[in-house]
Amino acid sequence: MNNGFGNVEKPEKSADASDVPDGIMNDVQVMPDGILNDIPAMPGERKDEFLVFNSRDELVRLEVNKIVYFEADGNYTNVITVNKLKAQVRMNLSELTRTLMLELGHKSSIFMRIGKSCIVNVNYIYKINVLRQYLILSDYCHFAYQLKLSKEALRAAKEMMLEKYRKSKQS
C-alpha cells in the first residue's frame, strides 16, 4: 500500500468518527493506509509507543511521548521533538490526524489539533495567550517553542484544555 509517503502495511484496526478520542478533530474518517507502530524496543530500552514513517529513501522512528508538535508545510508535515530534532513526512495534517487515531487509538488524545497549521502534544502546553496570539510548548527544563496561531484557534484550545482540567479534577 502507498500513503503518499512510501509503502506501508495496511493497519488491521478500523475506526469511525464515533471512535474519535478527545483532542482529535471531529471530521476524522477511516484512512486505508497507515504507519507502523509495532517495531520492538531496541535492546536496553523500555517498550514505548513509536510511530514509524517509511519512504523509499528514509525511515523516521519517533517515540510518541517525545513528539512536541506537528506543523503543516503544504502537503508535508514537520515533526518537532523534545530534543529539537525536526523530521519532515509526506502527509498533510488531515491525513496525519486520521493516522494518529488509527495507530494510537485512545492514546491519540494526547494530541490536539489547533487551527489549520498544527497538532500539539497537550502534555507540553505551558501557556496559551489568546490576546497576543501565541502558544508556548515546554517541558519546563530543556526547551520552549512559541507558536503564532489565530485567536479563534487559541480560544478553542484554551477551552478544550480547561474542560480536560475540569474532568480530571472530577475523577
Q: How far, in whole angstroms, is CA 150 from its chain's centroid?
A: 19
CATH number of 17-124: 2.40.50.40
Coil, strand, or helix at residue 154?
Answer: helix
The string of pLDDT tens digits covering residues 18-75 is: 443 443 333 322 223 334 444 444 454 445 699 999 988 999 999 999 999 999 999 9
Its pTM stands at 0.72
pLDDT digits 0-9 by tens, 45-57: 445 699 999 988 9
* Burial class (CB within 10 angstroms; exposed 0-12, middle 13-18, buried 19+) of 36: middle
Domain ranges of the chain: 17-124
